[in-house]
Amino acid sequence: MDNMAKKGIVKQEELDWTGVNDWLKEQKGTVDKNTLLEKLQENNIKVDEIVEFHDYVVRLAVEAKEEWSTVPYNFSEEVIHNFEQNGVVFKLLTSEKELSIEGKKMHHCVEMYHNQCAAGRYLVYHITHKLIGKEATLGLVPEIYRDWETS
């Protein structure tokens, strides 16, 4: 399992919180896939093949992209780029490179929204809570002829 984590097939933090490595160390000999899946299901841990496939496709896309564009998006003037509210800082991501960095940092596929951002159909903010240091990503999609809504 550690080799799978090194290769990026599974995340080390998932191995840690499931306790699977500790359980495997207690087993004598090799453990087959079905036994491992039974153990995971026994602990009410679901293996979601769709998420695994999604992560795999995103990883391939990111690896295939040699260079991310740093050309800034041309948002309308009404779009607020950076602001702070009650100790929470919102920073608008304004290029394909920034989306890529955000996706890697936050472990999601936000960089796949580049075309929508470039066309002004999607806004992405990196959010940081200054007091506790928690971070998140916020995506906004315009409703037709109305204000922005969260996604």
Domain chopping of the chain, boundaries = 2-47, 82-150
pLDDT digits (tens, 9 = 90+) for 63-102: 655 556 677 788 777 778 888 888 899 999 999 899 989 9
Closest C-alpha among 150, 149, 148, 54 to residue 103: 54
With 60 as the cut, is the pLDDT of residue 145 above it?
no
Q: How confident is the model at residue 125 (pLDDT cuts 50, 70, 90)?
A: very high
Prediction pTM value: 0.54
| pLDDT at 58 (0 to 100) | 61
The predicted model gives 108-123 an average pLDDT of 87
